Amino acid sequence: MDSVQRDRNLPGEENSTVKRSCENCPSFCYPHSKKGIEGWLAEDENLATDLDNERAVMDKLHERLLADGHPVRDWFYAHFHDSHTEFIGNIRFSLLGIMELKPALSFR
C-alpha cells in the first residue's frame, strides 16, 4: 500500500489538503529504533538495510511534497503494530495500530 489519497483538487476545492497514506514514514518519525524486530533481523541479513532504504525513500517523498508546495496536513502510516501521533512542523504523523481508525484533519 502506497497511495496518495488525492492527487489533484476537485472543482471548487482549489486549496485542498494532501493526505498521505502508506505503510511507512520518513526516518525522523516514530519509531526511531528497530526494537522488537530483532528476530526478523537475525533471519534476514539485508532487512535492516532494506528498512533504512525504505524510510529514506519516504524522506525524499516528504521533501518533494513540501518543495512542490503541497499543503500536507496528515501522514498516516502503519505496519509497526503500535499507535503513536506526533506533530512535526505543520504535519500530523499518525502511526495507526491494528484496526485503528483516525479522522483526517479538516481540508480547510
Query: Is residue 104, in this structure, part of any structural domain at all?
Result: no
Query: Is residue 103, in this structure, part of any structural domain at all?
Result: no
Query: Is residue 100, in this structure, part of any structural domain at all?
Result: no
Rounded to two decimals, the pTM is 0.74
Confidence of residue 103 (pLDDT cuts 50, 70, 90): confident
Mean local confidence (pLDDT), 47-64: 94
Query: Is residue 65, in this structure, part of any structural domain at all?
Result: yes
CB 78 within 8 A of CB 14: no
Query: Is residue 105, in this structure, part of any structural domain at all?
Result: no
**What's the confidence (pLDDT) of residue 107?**
55
Confidence of residue 24 (pLDDT cuts 50, 70, 90): confident
Please state, in angstroms and rounded to a whole number, the distance separating the CA atoms of residues 92 and 73.
Answer: 6
Q: What percent of the chain has pLDDT over 70?
A: 77
Domain range spanning residue 67?
A: 2-8+17-95
Residue 65: CA count within 13 A, CB half-sphere: 22
